[in-house]
Structure formats: C-alpha cells, structure tokens
C-alpha cells in the first residue's frame, strides 16, 4: 500500500542574480513516499500555479542521475540525505511525516544564483574548455586493441570519467574548491596513452582556469568525496597534484 506524508518546505526564492533572496514556507500534504524529490516539487509547482503564484525555478533534465543538473542543498547536504545519488534519485521515503525540509541552491562563489534553485555552473564548462580534452587528430576509429591499456588503468580512468560535473564537490567544500572535479577530468585522460601527449599543458591550464574563476583551495577535508553522487575518490586529487608539479618543472 502506497504511503503518504505531509511536509513543510522551506525553499529559497530569488528572482534574479542581483536581487536579494529569502526563504519562503510551503505546506504540502499527501506526498507519496514513492515519489522522487523532483516529482514532489512538480506537485508543489502545480499547486502554486493553481493558486496563481510564481512556480519554483529549478534545474533538471534526465532525472536519471546522469546530467548533474538537479543541484540542490537539502537540509544542508548536497543532493540530500541519501548517499551516492543525485537529487532526482532522492525519494520522499527518506523524510518523516511532518518534517520541515530546507531547500537551497548551491552555495559557492563560483556558482552564482540565476533564479530560485538554479545556479550558473558554466564555470565547470570553462575549466573543461581550458584543457579537458585531447586535440590530436586520431583519424578513423582504431581497433579496440590497437593501443594496449592495462585493465587497472582503464578501470581507474573510467571511474574518473563517471564524474557528471554536478558541482556537489565544490558546494560541499568549506573552501568552495573544484579540485575533485578538475582531478577527475585530468585523471580520465592522464591514465590513457592518448591523453599523455598534452598532460602537462592540460594540468597547468585547467588549474589556472579554476583559480581564475574563484574556486577555493583544497585542504583535504574529504567533504567532496563524501558528497559526490558518483563516489569519485580524492586519490585523483593526488594525481592532479603530481601532474601539475611535473608540468611546472617542465617550464
């Protein structure tokens, strides 16, 4: 039998980047515990529209934990209280009947609020554009076994490549550091032969762009790893540091 709960929602509302925001309180009754957190907000928005009020703006796309757009602080935790999931994968069964749920956008200087729960995460795109790619012309599609890669390296590169760039790491970090994101993007290429050609340039350019965009420094508190929905290891940060130091010595 489907269960339902009543919740009080304390949601951040902000009409624009330069407009002062504030929390607003909403009551929502008979919320199915089988519904996702975003489905719950859909219901709330339908209620607000019927009341001729402005619906809550929030980012979403795939709703399958792939795109990373559903970035929200829920009760002070990126993506909410469940582990290794994005907000769209969070279900209302994780909350109690009568609970007050506080919902905020990412709180990071590099992710300015656009409206309500939507933040500008284009800083991550700019970091990728600075060096998170392989520019060599590889020609046609090569045979899968043409360039030998050890299984250990391939598995670790794939683990790093699972980063969806949602921004939870920077939002969770007390310094607003993007080191885990940058490290994952560096690792997924540095571990493979195709990525070694531009390794030094990549590390320098991506770190420089990260600093330019206002992200803070890493102090190894591991909050990023704890809140990452894809469980990216901070061991990749150690690899980024090595790549960066080697690149500096090559100057």
Per-residue pLDDT of the chain (251 residues; tens, 9 = 90+): 679 999 999 999 999 999 999 999 999 999 999 999 999 999 999 999 999 999 999 999 999 999 999 989 999 999 999 999 999 999 999 999 999 999 999 999 999 999 999 999 999 999 999 999 888 776 676 676 678 889 999 999 999 999 999 999 999 999 999 999 999 999 999 999 888 889 999 999 999 999 999 999 999 999 999 999 999 999 999 999 999 998 888 76
Q: Can you give the residue ranges of every domain in the chain?
A: 4-114, 122-249
Q: How far apart are CA 132 and CA 188, in angstroms?
A: 9
- Phi, psi at residue 8, to the nearest 5°? -110, 130
Asked, colleague to colleague, whether 4-114 and 122-249 share their fold, the answer is: no
Q: How far apart are CA 226 and CA 220, in angstroms?
A: 12
Q: CB–CB of 244/204 below 8 Å?
A: yes
Domain 4-114 homologous superfamily, CATH: Beta-grasp domain (3.10.20.30)
Partners of 103 in beta bridges: 11, 74
Q: Classify domain 122-249 at the CATH topology level.
A: Fumarate Reductase Iron-sulfur Protein; Chain B, domain 2 (1.10.1060)
Q: Is this model's pTM higher than 0.75 or not?
A: yes
Q: CB–CB of 54/48 below 8 Å?
A: yes
């Amino acid at each position: 039998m489907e269960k339902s709960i009543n919740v009080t929602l304390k949601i951040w509302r902000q009409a624009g980047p330069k407009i002062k925001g504030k929390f607003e309180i909403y009551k929502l009754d008979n919320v199915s515990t089988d519904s996702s957190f975003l489905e719950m907000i859909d219901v709330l928005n339908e209620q607000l529209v019927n009341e001729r009020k402005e619906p809550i703006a929030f980012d979403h796309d795939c709703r399958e934990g792939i795109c990373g757009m559903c970035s929200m602080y829920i009760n002070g935790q990126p993506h909410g209280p469940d582990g290794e999931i994005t907000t769209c994968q969070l279900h209302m069964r994780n909350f109690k009947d009568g609970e007050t749920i506080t919902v905020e956008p990412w709180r990071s200087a590099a992710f300015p609020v656009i409206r309500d729960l939507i933040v500008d995460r284009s800083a991550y795109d700019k970091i990728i554009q600075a060096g998170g790619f392989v520019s060599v012309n590889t020609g046609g599609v090569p045979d899968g076994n043409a360039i030998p890669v050890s299984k250990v390296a391939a598995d670790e590169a794939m683990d790093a490549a699972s980063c969806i760039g949602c921004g939870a790491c920077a939002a969770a970090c007390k310094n607003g550091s993007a080191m885990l994101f940058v490290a994952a993007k560096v690792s997924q290429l540095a571990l493979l032969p195709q990525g070694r050609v531009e390794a030094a340039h990549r590390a320098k350019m991506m770190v420089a762009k990260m600093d330019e965009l206002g992200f803070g420094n890493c102090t190894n508190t591991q909050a990023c790893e704890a809140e990452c929905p894809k469980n990216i290891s901070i061991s990749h940060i150690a690899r980024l540091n090595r790549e960066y130091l080697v690149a500096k010595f090559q100057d």
